[in-house]
Structure 1
């Protein structure tokens, strides 16, 4: 990143632009801009000249520290993962939050960190993490020292998300079977619902058994 790029970042922050808008003006990935700001004082203390000097000092030190996961992947690959998550059914904002947590070195971010890194509103992050927590993708921890929530994604999250999703589908299967009995198993509607409910019930039963059987892989 050039000194001119850093000056434009500082101007964008002063104008109150989001990270995404600054990145668009620079024709760079949003993740690149968010990392640049985060490692050089944050949005409230970013200084382009100081950031330039800090980058030069890091370059003079010799071998750099190992790149973090998101740095190794690059913005294009990160966006690809987001797109795959969107195709699987996650809202785009929720997918971005999920992927950012996945790529965190320790799998932990505060709401403020997510807001700053993604360049979005606190309300958007709040809605996204609420959904992720409810679906078992993420768990919420409390930092007692700073009185703030920390959102964590770990290996056990995959097991939890599968179990929660399976149980929700199982409720639908039981509802279908109950409705089939109510309308009559000798009617076309009853027979159709009974088949659907039985199918879902057995598939989900296999899924839960498989999730439990392979759970040690996550340990």
Structure 2
């Protein structure tokens, strides 16, 4: 595994990987570098939506010549590498990268509130991309939408209750699938191999989801 500073060629490979939608872990594997090296590199140089290999290399060379570290972050502002790692975790869990970026930006904002214009400006992406991501997050209960009547705009909010609502929505969707499987089992016949398989799977999912919602209801008070 190579050590030391990233080369200009490696930075170009990072940019190519980001453009191709690769995860930091995959880019790191291809370069033989730790994932944390890639996430820090991207976070320090514009983030995944604005990473430029040539500028990143020049900035690193200039810092080395001056013998000074990168500018310190303000108190209370999450480190860029930490933010990048959270995004990667969300992507690995199944969220599209843009949706994960929007969600994490909201999560790490001081008051958990952003307008569409703020998200567009901060993430350096199109309003359409933000709209698609936010709509998904609202549908899944991760974010709620508030209306600003004075300025006629939507404000997107992440609060503590969002964790509960996201679990509730996901549970309802899984429960629907479980009950559909059990209904199909009855139609096909509970004495057939396929019917038995669907019945067992549906019953398993139903019981697990019921337990999950009981647990969510029991511990909901921790969020308030």
**Fold match (TM-score > 0.5):** yes
Please state how far the C-alpha of 1:68 moved relative to its aligned partner: 3.0
| Separation (CA, whole Å) in 1 of partners of 2:220 and 2:93 | 22
Aligned residue number for residue 181 of structure 2: 176
| 1:104 is aligned to 2:109 | yes
Other-structure match for 1:139 = 144
SS at match of 2:49: helix
Match of 1:67 among 62, 66, 75: 75
What TM-score, normalized to structure 2?
Answer: 0.69
On the 8 A contact 1:81/1:99 being kept in 2, the answer is yes
Q: Does 1:121 align with 2:126?
A: yes
Does structure 2 conserve the Cα–Cα contact (< 8 Å) formed by 1:19 and 1:119? no
Question: How many Å apart are 1:27 and its aligned residue?
Answer: 2.0
Gaps of 5+ in 2: 1-46, 58-71
What is the count of residue pairs matched by the alignment? 164
- Could you tell me how far 1:23 is from its partner in structure 2? 5.6
**Uncovered stretches (5+) of structure 1, i.e. residues with no partner:** 1-17, 29-63
2:52 and 2:116 map into 1 onto residues whose CA distance is 21
Stretches (4+) displaced over 6 A: none
**RMSD over equivalenced CA pairs, Å:** 2.1
Which of 11, 32, 50 aligns to 1:21? It is 50
Residue 69 of structure 1: CA displacement?
3.2
- Whether the 8 Å contact between 1:19 and 1:118 is mirrored in structure 2 is no
Distance 2:130 2:54 in 1: 23
1:197-208 equivalence runs, <5 A: 197-208=202-213
Distance of 1:20 and 1:200 partners within structure 2: 38
8 A contact 1:184–1:190 mirrored in 2: yes
Q: Does 1:213 align with 2:218?
A: yes
Whether the aligned pair in 2 keeps the contact of 1:139 and 1:151 (CA below 8 Å) is: yes
**Highest RCO, 1 vs 2 (Cα 8 Å, sep ≥ 6):** 1
CA contact (8 A) 1:170 1:201 kept: yes
CA distance in structure 1 between the partners assigned to 2:128 and 2:85 by the alignment: 25
